[in-house]
Amino acid sequence: MMEILRYAAASAEQAEVYVAEEERTPICVISGELQQLSTQKTVGIGLRVVKDGRMGKASSTVPDSGFLVDAALKTAASGNPAEYVFPNSPCSETHCFDPGTASVPEETLLVSAMKISDALKKKGIAHELAAQREIKSVTIENTSGFSSTYKKTGFWLSLDTLSTEGFRQMQFFAASGRWFDLEEEHIEQIVSYHFAADNRVGIKTGRYPVVFSGQAMWALLFRLFAGVEGQALARGISPVAHRLGEQLISDRVTVVDDPTIPLGTNSVPFDDEGSPCRVNTIYDKGVLSGFLLDLKTASQTGKVSTGNGFRRQLFNEGVEVVPSPCYTNFVMSPGKDDIQDVMSQLPRCIYVQQVMGGHTGNIVAGEFSLNLGTAFLVERGVIRAKIMDAMVAGNVYDVFRNVGAVGNTLSSNRAIFYPFGYAPDVLFEGVSVAGGRA
């Protein structure tokens, strides 16, 4: 690694070497039958150089100094201006590595997955279970003198139950920096939702009280993120760019980007540019309080990096991805409400367990039009049926002004492929729902 940095430094004003070593153990079980269990190891090297004030980049899976430096210098000739300096600031320790998770044998991971699968199979529930244990080491060195490494563990589990026709009946997701065994109460809840979904109903178009589960909340929170991330600010397309300090949404809502959560799904001490990570408050009781920036967008907007430059986008991540503003653990703080009690007081509401289409529409503007993947009609707290062929639509800055209740517990969630953060169940009042015949 030092050889690559020395070679690059001899030909460029600045250089940065990023090395990621990953070990992933994916498991796939379909209705009691093991489909995949393996351990895969990868190494990736990313190099960025600044030559004549322009950024160049290259990546490889082998530490070939000549190839990486030559390729990076070539791209720098037509690269974007780099009006910033690679950082060298101290980073706080973050608890993101669990030795126990790293040492869990494949056999133990398999036994845990099969226990869940067998429990569902005994109930006659067809299903698809996927889980993955991850161990990652990231090292960054640059010509400013920064040189640091962190190790990180992670585990996630995804479960889809299937209807007799083979369609998704309900979905469950959980993630942590530590391996976990799904508790019996969670399995029982999955079974309960599955059979409740056997009864299906349409719903009339109109406005309804809608409860988004913590798992489904990512689709709304992602739009709040899109409004405060640096690229939207630099391009002048953020709807909240000049509203810092204003009350934009309900005072029930506090949102932070928190990379310091012990064994959080995305907890890390520094970002993929070597900038120290820190807790960034986005909305404090509804008041816009901050933005999320990498080095480039901080330079473009006259601010400083918030430690949110990551080689991760909505659909891909890796050494070949250019760092850009991204979230760590994007968290909506829990409230004081028991959502089940709240729903029991409502004559009728919709409980959204999961949505489809969260990545579509004018996300930066806060607009959403989401198909209800798994949603239930609830009357006085009792699930009556799964709602079919319906969608919710609106703008997050409107719906977040009409928050009726915020649940007192958090659930982990993911944005398409990757863990996103944590959120409570939230009741929104008067949400526009498009349906068919009731």
Better-scored residue on pLDDT, 285 or 63: 285
User: Is residue 298 over pLDDT 80?
Assistant: yes
Share of the chain above pLDDT 70, in %: 100
- Contact between 49 and 73 under an 8 Å Cβ cutoff? The reply is yes
Mean of pLDDT values over 188-206: 94
Cβ atoms within 10 Å, residue 251: 13
Q: How far is CA 196 from CA 129, 189, 384, in A?
A: 20, 10, 7
Nearest to 255 by CA among 361, 330, 144: 330
Nearest to 211 by CA among 387, 34, 414, 416: 387
Mean of pLDDT values over 185-207: 94
**β-pairing verdict for 54-60 and 14-30:** unpaired
User: Is residue 1 over pLDDT 80?
Assistant: no
Across the beta sheet with 330-332, what order do the strands follow? Answer: 287-288, 280-284, 255-257, 330-332, 418-423, 411-415
Q: Which domains does the chain have, with CATH numbers?
A: 2-193 (3.30.2290.10), 199-438 (no CATH)
Spell out the residues 6+ positions from residue 342 whose beta carbon is closer than 8 angstroms to its own. Answer: 211, 404, 405, 427
How far the first Cα of the chain sits from its last, in Å, is 63
Mean of pLDDT values over 183-202: 93
User: Is residue 353 over pLDDT 80?
Assistant: yes
Per-residue pLDDT reduced to its tens digit, 247-266: 999 999 999 999 999 999 99
Position 437 confidence tier, pLDDT thresholds 50, 70, 90: low
pLDDT at position 438: 59
- Contact between 425 and 214 under an 8 Å Cβ cutoff? The reply is yes
Mean of pLDDT values over 363-390: 96
Residue-averaged pLDDT of the chain: 96
Cβ atoms within 10 Å, residue 104: 17
- Written as one string, the DSSP assignment of 347-364 is SSEEEEEEEE-TT-S-TT
Q: What is the pTM of this model?
A: 0.96
Spell out the residues 6+ positions from residue 422 whose beta carbon is closer than 8 angstroms to its own. Answer: 214, 264, 329, 330, 331, 332, 410, 411, 412, 413
User: Is residue 157 over pLDDT 90?
Assistant: yes
d(CA 283, CA 285): 6
d(CA 97, CA 75): 35
Per-residue pLDDT reduced to its tens digit, 217-251: 999 999 999 999 999 999 999 999 999 999 999 99
- Contact between 329 and 414 under an 8 Å Cβ cutoff? The reply is no
Answer left, alpha or beta for residue 326, where phi above 0 means left and psi between -120 and 50 means alpha. Answer: beta
